[in-house]
Amino acid sequence: MKLLSTKRGYIARWREGTRWRERRMNASSREEAYSLAMKLQTQLESQAMDRTWADVRQRFLAGEANPISRKTRSLYATTLNHVERLLKPRALTDLNAEAISRFAHALRQQGLAPETVRSYLRPLKAMLRWAADIGLIAKRVKFPRLKGKPGSKAKSRAVTTAEFELMLEAARCVDARHFASLVRIAEVMYYGGLRLREAVALSWNANARVAVELAGTHSRLTFRSGAQKNGRAERAPMCPDLAKYLDQVPTDQRSGRVAPLRYSADWAGRKLAAMGREAGIIVNADGKTASAHDLRRSCATRWARRLPAPMLKAMMRHADVATTMDYYVDEQGDEVCKALWAASEDCGLAAQEKGGLPLGGQSGGFFRS
């Protein structure tokens, strides 16, 4: 809070969110005005304390800051539940930098990876920034910077073609009644790299939320507003594998959803995970079995060997090329090794034709005895 001396007298000025507030101090001297300003500041801080954690949480999850989807609201609520369990805040001002640091430390103590801890901190950071912007707290809270081990952020590897075929065979054991629909959803995700909800919503109808546009080398996927993760309406390039797969569907069967399903995407996700368990496909060191998102990852991995990262980003519809690099660049390691050795052999042949040897020359190769 600032105390200003103007022609109108003494004025107290303070910032509330992004706006400045003023109040005139009825005082005859600077000392009296300063005393009144201190009382005003105490009163404002007391009002801020009255804003309980429960009230602010309810307003945030209701979408007062920004409209949020049902799935996002569920993820935010999970994070805030962890905050209540570990920190037990009563007022919003209880969540200072020291409390946030304790929260992050407690999550790490539970064995969570740095990236997972960051995913828990993001909703909390968004809520506290919104609270600061509208004046519910005096200033933005500083969050700790977490350092993790470098490398790929992918939690599991891609599924091979042979493993994918085992998953399809397991579908009959998991749910014989919906065998055809489960196989179709799995194939759409594996060949096209779609997310689970997009694969379930994929339709032949042009006005659907996620629609197929088969046009040979110009085939596309049309996403209506809110149909994909980023919420944008978009005509995205279709993976050629998916275009060839869909082109095999008879013309008289191209109506309605590509994979007719009576149940939700969550139900389909559970069934696909059960198929991975039934097939016994282990995709990481922790013993995790293949699930729906591993099928999308498999598509990106296959094409990572053929496309540069910016083009792969466009096909996978990532918001940032860094996401593509973080999750899929390691899969190109074998191809890079082959290319390096091929280039090395070419250099060796060229050097021998000129009468020399690479690196070792005439003196006994790479190492001397």
How far, in Å, CA of 25 to CA of 38, rounded?
11
Q: Are 157 and 298 in contact (CB under 8 A)?
A: no
pLDDT at res. 363: 41
What are the sequence ranges of the domains in the chain? 2-50, 54-133, 161-330
Ranges under pLDDT 70 in the chain:
15-19, 44-51, 147-154, 327-340, 344-369
Q: How far apart are CA 95 and CA 137, in angstroms?
A: 10
pLDDT tens sequence across 54-64: 888 888 888 87
Q: Quick one: pLDDT at residue 272? A: 95
Give the closest residue to 182 by CA, choosing from 163, 195, 169, 198: 169
pLDDT value of residue 258? 93
Tell me the longest C-alpha to C-alpha distance in the chain.
99
DSSP, collapsed to helix, strand or coil, labels residue 106 as helix
The CATH classification number of 161-330 equals 1.10.443.10
pLDDT of residue 153: 59
In this structure, the strands spanning 210-213 and 202-203 are: parallel
Give the DSSP H/E element, type plus range, for residue 202. Answer: strand 202-203
The contacts of residue 269 (CB under 8 Å, 6+ apart) are 196, 291, 292
For 74-105, how does the pLDDT look when each residue is reduced to its tens digit (9 = 90+)?
889 999 999 999 999 888 888 888 999 999 99
- What distance in Å separates the CA atoms of residue 33 and residue 26, rounded to the nearest whole number? 7
Return all residues near 58 (Cβ < 8 A) that are at least 6 apart. Answer: none
How high is the pLDDT of residue 365? 42
